[in-house]
Amino acid sequence: MRQESEKASPKKAAKRSWKFWLVFWLVAVVLLFSWYVFLQIKNKNIENLKPLIGILPVSSERKNELSVLTDVYDKAGGFDGEKTFLILFQNDMELRPGGGFIGSFGILKAEGGKVSDLQIHDTGIFDGRVPDTETPPYPMGEDLHINSWKMRDSNWSPDFRANAEKAEYFYKLGEGGENFDGVIAINTKVLNSILAITGPIKIADYPGEYNDETAILQLEYQVEKGYQEQGIEKGERKNVMRDMADVLVQKMHSFNLSQQMELAKKMETHLKQKDIQMFFKDENLQSEIKDMGWAGEVKGFEGDYLMVVDANLNSLKSDLCIKRKLKYEVDLAPKNPQAVLSVTYNHTCRTRDWMTTNYNDWLRVFVPENDWLDNASVPYDQLRFENDLGKKVFGVPVYVEIGKEDTFVLRYNLPENLRNDNYNLFVQKQSGSGDVPIEISVKKTDGTVVEAKETLTEDKLFSF
């Protein structure tokens, strides 16, 4: 069996220094988006670096990556006029199909390689301006007890372009006045990566110390409960993020070359693992982003396909405790090939509190368009079927009690054209779902069985 995925070049870091410098400029922009930072990016003519890419001692794939990074900085940095971006901050402790609950969003303007303006908004407050005209998709309304769909729940699709367009739609519906050149979504892991380099920090007027292991939980407590204890108005409860950004900026200004390179490598990993997803209205730039796998796209594929997508609905921040694993068994011997998918959820928390409860989830499984469900481990009347993004989609309700483990099984027929010895499986990973172990077993037409075990951190192609 041969497994294909992006592997890091074995070249030493010194031989990739140009790459790290280029990525660093992108990282600076990403940090602005992530943690509300007005960080001035020094003017630099990126075009002068492009000729150097062609002579670097790296693979053609790496050269293409460097070229895309220069284009992102050049075209998104506002060198040909001011650019405006909608930034979606996604909390993956409350997993949604696109990565996590959108608790806040930002509007960032860039010009001449510098940030000219940045505004941060509490999504819950902004949604009060959005009229109750959009019916939520099933079962969002039923499980969240809402009668209208708004920006905070706009990332219902695993495809980021669909989410970006929906978020902008709700922004306009709420009478937002900006026209955006692009949309970027960022998950919570990015903060951990920054703090792993800066080390623990303190924020004036807020208790405790923030580090890469505890910061997310501390911030969650601060915006949900701590602000009340400190007498902070509800509308100002997320100011802690802005104040944290001030501290991080000071730390970043003193980064040495080694720290800059380390940060660049971490951000590159976040792009590959969909902790950062980007959509640009410049179609040429968007095409480049898609080719690099940074667009959060649900991709078309000629062979077998699998994507498991969860939506935490009214389970608080319980995804912090949920460990998932997949088992996928394929039998190519029958005339109609068979597939059995088992999705196991382990709720590792042991007590219910303000942050954790039983896990109520809507599982959607994206498979080839001509697949047909045979049976499932839940009653048939609880299942939903749809076609979306060129895939057949099976919807399954999931309920796992605190401290328990449960497995949900789907058995379905695969298209007949997959019945050959050149079987390929493309597995896409949901943004924000963490590392997901997967076991694959394929019984070929001659009765031989091949197996694979992996931990999914990004999209992966399996070839048998």
For residue 127 the two structure tokens come to 């949604």
Q: pLDDT tens digits, residue range 143-182?
A: 999 999 999 999 999 999 999 999 999 999 999 999 999 9
Decide if 309 contacts 389 (C-beta within 8 A).
no
Domain residues for the domain of 173 are: 2-187+255-292
Q: 234 pLDDT exceeds 70?
A: yes
* Same domain (yes/no): 145, 179: yes
d(CA 92, CA 94): 5
The pLDDT of 215-225, averaged and rounded, is 90
Do residue 266 and residue 376 come from a single domain? no
Same domain, 73 and 181: yes
Residues 6+ apart with CB under 8 A from 288: 67, 68, 71, 72
Other CB atoms within a 10 A radius of the CB of residue 6 amount to 13
Return the pLDDT at 432.
96
The pLDDT of residue 253 is above 80: no
Query: Residue 245: in which H helix or E strand, if any?
Result: helix 239-253
Quickly state the pLDDT bin for 29 (edges 50, 70, 90): very low
Confidence of residue 78 (pLDDT cuts 50, 70, 90): confident
322 and 425 assigned to the same domain:
yes
Q: Give the pair of three-digit tokens for residue 377.
A: 């481990």
Residue 236 confidence (pLDDT): 85
* 178 and 324 share one domain: no
Mapped onto helix, strand or coil, the DSSP state of residue 379 is coil
pLDDT of residue 56: 46
Residue 67 has a pLDDT of: 64
pLDDT of residue 60: 61
In this prediction, residue 398 carries a pLDDT of 97
Contact 149, 140 (CB under 8 A): yes
Q: Is residue 65 part of a domain?
A: yes
Give me the pLDDT at residue 14, please. 42
| Spatial CA neighbour of 400 closest among 449, 460, 352 | 352
Let me know the angle formed at the C-alpha of 439 by 435 and 442, rounded to the nearest 5 degrees.
145
Give yes or no for residue 7 having a pLDDT over 50: no
Cα angle vertex 342, ends 341, 348, to 5°?
Answer: 150
Does 74 lie in the same domain as 40?
yes
Instruction: Tell me the pLDDT tens digit for each residue of 397-451.
Output: 999 999 999 999 999 999 998 988 789 999 999 999 999 999 999 999 999 999 9
State residue 66's pLDDT score: 61
Per the omega criterion (within 30 degrees of 0), is the bond before 139 cis?
Answer: yes
What are the E-state strand segments in 112-163? 114-122
Query: Could you tell me which residue, 413 or 31, shows the higher pLDDT?
Result: 413
The more confidently predicted of residues 34 and 150 is 150
CB 15 within 8 A of CB 58: yes
- Assigned token pair, 60: 């053609």
**Same domain, yes or no: 54 and 154:** yes
Chain segment 334-367, per-residue pLDDT in tens: 988 999 999 999 999 999 999 999 999 999 999 9
User: Which band of pLDDT confidence, cut at 50, 70 and 90, is reported for residue 389?
Assistant: very high
Residue 457 in any domain: the answer is: yes
Distance CA 416, CA 337 (A): 6
Answer yes or no: is 236 within a domain: no
Is the pLDDT assigned to residue 115 strictly greater than 80? no
Q: Examine the domain organization and report whether 36 and 173 are in the same domain.
A: yes
Q: How many structural domains is the chain composed of?
A: 2
CA 263 to chain CA centroid, nearest Å: 19
The verdict on residue 209 lying in a domain is no
Whether residue 449 is contained in a domain is answered as: yes
| Helices assigned H by DSSP within 10-96 | 17-35, 50-53, 60-76
Among the three residues 267, 292, 317, which one is the final residue of a domain in this structure? 292
Ramachandran bin of 306, using left for φ above 0, alpha for ψ from -120 to 50, beta for the remaining angles: beta
**pLDDT-derived band at 64, boundaries 50, 70, 90:** low
Mean pLDDT of the chain: 85
**CA separation for the pair 408, 399 (Å, rounded):** 10
- What pLDDT, on a 0 to 100 scale, did the predictor assign at position 18? 47
Q: For residues 17 and 24, is the Cβ–Cβ distance under 8 A?
A: no
Tell which residue, 303, 270, 329, has the closest CA to residue 31: 270
Q: What pLDDT sits at residue 52?
A: 45
Helix then strand count (H, E) for the chain reads 12, 20
Q: Residues of 219-241 as b/e, b for ≥16 C-beta within 10 angstroms? A: bbebbeebbeeeebeeeebbbbb
Residue 169 pLDDT: 98
pLDDT at residue number 11: 45
Same domain membership, residue 263 and residue 315: no
Confirm whether pTM is higher than 0.95: no
Same domain for 69 and 10: yes
Of the residues 246, 269, 292, which one is the last residue of a structural domain? 292
CATH number of the domain bearing residue 363: 2.60.40
**Inter-residue contact 184 to 88 (CB < 8 Å):** yes
Residues 283 and 356 reside in one and the same domain: no
Domain assignment of residue 241, yes or no: no
**pLDDT surpassing 50 at residue 134:** yes
Statement: residue 132 has pLDDT above 50: yes
Q: How far apart are CA 83 and CA 366, in angstroms?
A: 35
User: What is the enclosing helix (H) or strand (E) of 393?
Assistant: strand 391-400
Q: Whole-angstrom Cα distance, residue 187 to residue 297?
A: 16
Q: Which candidate, 77, 99, 106, 92, places its Cα nearest to that of 178? A: 106
Considering the domain architecture, whether residues 286 and 317 belong to the same structural domain is answered as: no
Distance of alpha carbon 455 from its chain centroid, rounded? 17
DSSP letter for 455, please. Answer: E
Q: Is residue 207 part of a domain?
A: no
Last residue of a domain, one of 265, 292, 319: 292
Q: pLDDT per residue over 237-248, tens digit each?
A: 888 877 887 788
Q: What percent of the chain has pLDDT over 70?
A: 84
Looking at residue 241, its pLDDT comes to 77
Q: Are 127 and 109 within 8 A, CB to CB? A: no
Best-predicted range by mean pLDDT among 25-29, 71-75, 384-388? 384-388
The pairing of strands 460-463 and 424-428 is antiparallel
pLDDT on residue 50: 52
Q: Give me 38's structure tokens.
A: 């007005």
Residue 219 falls within a domain, yes or no? no
**d(C-alpha 451, C-alpha 421), whole Å:** 14
